Amino acid sequence: MTVIENRHISDRDFLKLREETDDKVELIDNVVYMTPAPTPLHQRICFKVAKFLDGYVTNKKCQMLQGINVRLYDEHKTKIGDVIPDISVFCQYKDLNLTFIDDIPTIIVEIVSSSTAYADNIKKADLYKRTGVKEYWIIDPISKVITVWNFNTDEQMIYREIAYSYLFEGLSIELENLFT
């Protein structure tokens, strides 16, 4: 992961940077993060989780989206993040025909790699908590664990067999099925 720190960047320049590279480009607190394309294992896990979540949240009148642009704001309505989570679940979404979704995801899922572990576990966890995301799942294919944060209560659980949602009763996923 390449980090370009302390560079204030306009929205236009940020979008131009995204267009000029095949890397995933995100902005967190005025720091630009660039990540190479995901591995096949990453994409396979992402597909399995997305398929599972989509089937579950549809009955809850929520929308599961993969790899979309999410713009996040602090309590003063100042933009502090332009990110592309692996999976986002929106339960109060308005318009999905935009370049950037400005609504706050209810759940965000990130699948970490060695190059994204710091950003996903530290920087993004802090960003998501500050901006009102309620639940954050961090899937680690190397350790074969899922960490689930409940930002409403600041609780964190690390699951090795079955991961459970804090927000949705009955939402659980068997880890064995993800990593095969």
Strand order in 70-73's β-sheet?
2-4, 31-35, 24-28, 79-83, 70-73
| Tens-binned pLDDT, residue by residue, of the chain (180 aa) | 555 555 567 778 888 888 888 888 898 888 888 888 889 999 999 999 999 999 999 888 899 999 999 999 999 998 899 999 999 999 987 676 777 888 899 999 999 998 889 889 999 999 999 999 999 999 999 999 999 999 999 999 999 999 999 999 999 999 998 987
Rounded Cα distance between 172 and 5, Å, is 38
Are 50 and 58 in contact by the 8 Å Cβ rule? The answer is no
Q: What is the pTM (predicted TM-score) of this model?
A: 0.90
What confidence tens digit (pLDDT) does each residue in 86-134 have? 999 999 876 767 778 888 999 999 999 988 898 899 999 999 999 999 9
Are 136 and 148 in contact by the 8 Å Cβ rule? The answer is yes
Which contiguous run of DSSP H or E holds residue 138? strand 135-140
